[in-house]
Amino acid sequence: MKNLIASLPNHIREALQIADNTTLNPYNKDIRQVLITGLGGSGIGGSIVAELVSDTCAVPVKVNKDYHLPAFVNENTLVIASSYSGNTEETLAAMEEAIKRGAEVALITSGGKALELAKANNYNHIVVPGGNPPRSMLGYSLTLQFVVLNHYGLIPNYRETLEKAADLLDAEQADIKTQSEALAHKMQHHIPAIYVVDGFEGVAIRLRQQLNENSKMLCWHAVVPEMNHNELVGWSGGDDNIYALFMRNELDYERNQKRIEINKGIISQHTKNMSEVWSKGSSPIENAMYLIHFGDWLSYYLSELNQVDIMDIKAIDHLKSELAKF
């Protein structure tokens, strides 16, 4: 896992090369909305991309994490299915439903039943390297979702921005590792509360999921300004067992910046454990990738401190084996 985390910049570059070597079918449908369907490590890329393209995409982009599709999905919907293994049962069910409704389907996978389904129906598909934990392959799925959206004429070509993000991670990786390791020592034995501004919730979800799977820790996340209308009051029941972490960007809206400063003052009355991480980069994509990389390393160092097996997902494997009985 350590090597896979370190390889995120190269995964972004390799995904762009895979796209260059993949021929996608032309499209002739009037795409009026996009649905990205996928779960867990395969699905988090959709949550992040949907937010990052909200200012440039010509149509709404929604995310689905279930067996079934929303009622709006029809022949004018682009359904991007993301299943690293190609055998995620919820995503397979959603693909089959999309086919029945006549949607335009595109798939990102390493193989499995989903790839067979895409080939049988002549759907666009992009194949990524297999054999690794899905959560470690975010660089591929996230990058290729930008590629697919661009292929369908829905967003600009973000290739240069993604390449700059990869270069940024290479340049900052040593510092990211140093800072995240130091934060891990502070955060150990606490329950993390992760805060971001609206538009970066996917980044917070990514960190929460990495702490769950890699570090074997429970935690939660919330978004400013929404949490100012509810959760902030809940901090009256907070204590020093909780560690508040604000993940911030210089590009964040100024009113939200002010909110965070006020939030810090209120929360500090209930816990002495608080930190903030500022991203680097000149675009939201660079900011997001910086914070994602920081969070991945944080989860790694916490797994070391917690003395847990970072690769162990026995609980998920047990769930799948039980479901297979029905």
Residue 249, strand partner residues: none
Q: What local confidence, expressed as pLDDT, does residue 132 receive?
A: 96
pLDDT confidence band for 29 (50 / 70 / 90)? confident
- How high is the pLDDT of residue 54? 96
209 confidence band (pLDDT: 50, 70, 90)? very high
At 148-164, the pLDDT tens digits run: 999 999 999 999 999 99
Confidence class of residue 245 from pLDDT cuts 50, 70 and 90?
A: very high
Tell whether the model's pLDDT for residue 303 goes beyond 90.
yes
Prediction pTM value: 0.96
pLDDT at 105: 97
Q: Per-residue pLDDT averaged across 174-198, rounded?
A: 98
How confident is residue 55, by pLDDT bands cut at 50, 70 and 90? very high
Catalytic residues: 213, 229, 320
Overall average pLDDT of the 309-317 stretch: 94
The mean pLDDT of 181-194, rounded to a whole number, is 98
Phi, psi of 14 (to 5 degrees): -65, -35
Whether 234 shows a pLDDT value over 90: the answer reads yes
- Inter-axis angle of helices 284-306 and 201-213, nearest 10: 20
User: Is pLDDT of 42 > 90?
Assistant: yes
Average pLDDT, the chain: 97
**Domains of the chain, each with CATH number or no CATH:** 2-157 (3.40.50.10490), 164-306 (3.40.50.10490)
Per-residue pLDDT tens for 246-258? Answer: 999 999 999 999 9
Taking only the tens place, the pLDDT of each residue in 99-108 is 999 999 999 9
Residue 28 has pLDDT above 90, yes or no: no
